[in-house]
Amino acid sequence: MSAETKLSGPWLLHPQVALRPERFGALAYHFGTRRLSFLKSRRLLDVVQRLESSPDPNAACRAAGVGEEELPSYRRALATLAETEMIVPADPAAEVAA
């Protein structure tokens, strides 16, 4: 999956990932892969936290106050989090739309 991959359907934080809010955004640690990721803004943290209760990543972005002009950069950030398995499809059988 590339950073330009389009995410569809419901997503959520991987069950083995812990978020630690910080002034700059948050640290995300995956206990399974031992990978550490930085969420570089509080708004991105808000988006990630809203994923589980949203029908898709775009809805999570809009609920967090992300404007249309900012949406592509947030989708790239979410695609990167998906590539590193920090976020996963809510339905394990779901596929990522290309």
For the whole model, what pTM was predicted?
A: 0.86
The upper half-sphere exposure of residue 68, i.e. CA atoms within 13 Å in the direction of its Cβ, equals 0
Q: Is residue 96 predicted with pLDDT exceeding 70?
A: no
Phi, psi of 9 (to 5 degrees): 70, 180
Check residue 7 and give its pLDDT.
Answer: 87
User: Can you tell me the distance from the alpha carbon of 59 to that of 2, in angstroms, rounded to the nearest whole number?
Assistant: 21
User: Can you tell me the distance from the alpha carbon of 98 to that of 90, in angstroms, rounded to the nearest whole number?
Assistant: 17
pLDDT tens for 27-62 read: 999 999 999 999 999 999 999 999 999 999 999 999
